[in-house]
Amino acid sequence: MSLDGTYDDGNIFAKILRGEAPAARVFEDDHVLAFMDVFPQARGHTLVIPKHSTARNLLDEEPRVLSALILGVQRVSRAVRAALNPDGLMVSQFNGAPAGQTVYHLHFHIVPRWEGEALGRHGAGGMADPAVLKALAEQIAAKIS
Ligand code: 5GP
């Protein structure tokens, strides 16, 4: 998939938004939804997506939606930090398959990092235990402020 294309509302994040697919939900407001990545690159890997959007990537998004989205990313990043006490936090976002994008609904990754712990490979890790993700989601949700 290139940078160009039409938004497909059958993508997995659109299904999660509509409640048609399960997710370990962390936080939502009028603008954004945050949930745990099911193939985490590190413990606490969280995704933040716009709720009212048909943008496939960053380049497609309206400034108004993007503003609310990045504020959501910051808010959830602070909660991830407070909940898990990482040494660092990687915030990433991929546009187009050659850049690593696999789901075509705009999203940001929040990946906690710890000294001496290698980063899992993007899109190549195993599926996490749903019970573990639920517990992490609750831990992070408790620190949203
Ligand atoms: P991208 O590769 O597009 O930047 O990121 C998509 C992310 O969605 C990947 O990190 C992948 O692990 C995650 N992902 C793929 N399918 C699902 C799913 O069904 N549920 C959740 N929670 N995450 C998913």
Domain boundaries defined on the chain: 12-141
- The pLDDT score that the predictor gives to residue 89 is 98
pTM of the model as a whole: 0.97
Ligand 1 pocket check for 45: Cβ under 6 Å: no
**How far apart, in whole angstroms, are the C-alpha atoms of residue 115 and residue 77?**
18
For range 53-67, the mean pLDDT? 97
Q: Please state which CATH class domain 12-141 belongs to.
A: alpha beta
- The pLDDT score that the predictor gives to residue 1 is 65
Ligand 1 pocket check for 60: Cβ under 6 Å: no
Provide the angle, in degrees to the nearest 10, between the axes of the packed helices 130-141 and 63-84: 100
* pLDDT at position 94 over 90: yes
Ligand 1: atom nearest CA of 40 is: 12
- The pLDDT score that the predictor gives to residue 122 is 86
* pLDDT at position 102 over 70: yes
Ligand 1 pocket check for 100: Cβ under 6 Å: yes
Chain centroid to Cα 8, Å, comes to: 18
Q: Which of 35, 37, 109 to mutate to test the pocket of ligand 1 (most atoms within 8 A of CB)?
A: 37
- The pLDDT score that the predictor gives to residue 123 is 78
Would you say 89 and 2 are in contact if contact means Cβ atoms under 8 Å apart?
Answer: no
- The pLDDT score that the predictor gives to residue 124 is 80
